[in-house]
Amino acid sequence: MGLPGLTKEQMIMIDELMMRNLNVPVEFMMEHAGHNLARLSTKLTTKNQTSLVIAGSGNNGGGGLVSACRLKGWGYDVEIYLPQGQDALKPVPTKQAQRAEALGIELIDGLPTKYSDNLVIDAYLGYGYNKRNDSTTKDVLDFLNDSSSIVSLDIPSGMDSNTGESSVPFSPNATMTIAFVKEGLLKADRNQHGRLYVADIGVPRSLIENQLGIEWKFPYSISELKSLYVGFIRDPLQEVFIDDDGDFEDHPIWIVA
- Domain assignment of residue 32, yes or no: yes
Whether 211 is in a domain gets the answer yes
What local confidence, expressed as pLDDT, does residue 186 receive? 85
User: For residue 2, is it within any domain?
Assistant: no
Asked if the model's pLDDT at residue 2 lies above 90, the reply is: no
Mean pLDDT of 63-72: 97
Higher confidence at residue 236 or residue 117? 117
CA 39 vs CA 24, 139, 156, 218: distances in Å: 22, 28, 18, 33
Please indicate, yes or no, if residue 1 is contained in any of the structural domains.
no
176: Cβ–Cβ under 8 A, 6 or more apart, which residues?
36, 37, 40, 151, 152, 153, 154, 197, 198, 199, 256
Domain holding 162, by residue range, is 8-256
Q: Is the residue at 248 inside a domain? A: yes
List Cβ neighbours of 204 (8 Å cut-off, separation of 6 or more): 22
CA 215 to chain centre: 24
pLDDT at 254: 54
Which CATH number fits the domain that encloses residue 84?
3.40.50.10260
Residue 37 has pLDDT above 50, yes or no: yes
Q: How many domains, the chain?
A: 1
Task: Decide: helix, strand or coil at residue 193.
Answer: coil
Quick one: pLDDT at residue 112?
92
Query: Greater confidence, 242 or 82?
Result: 82
pLDDT average, residue stretch 237-254? 43
What's the pLDDT at 232? 30
Residue 106 belongs to some domain of the structure:
yes
The tens digit of pLDDT for each residue in 124-164 reads: 999 988 887 789 999 999 999 999 899 999 999 999 999 99
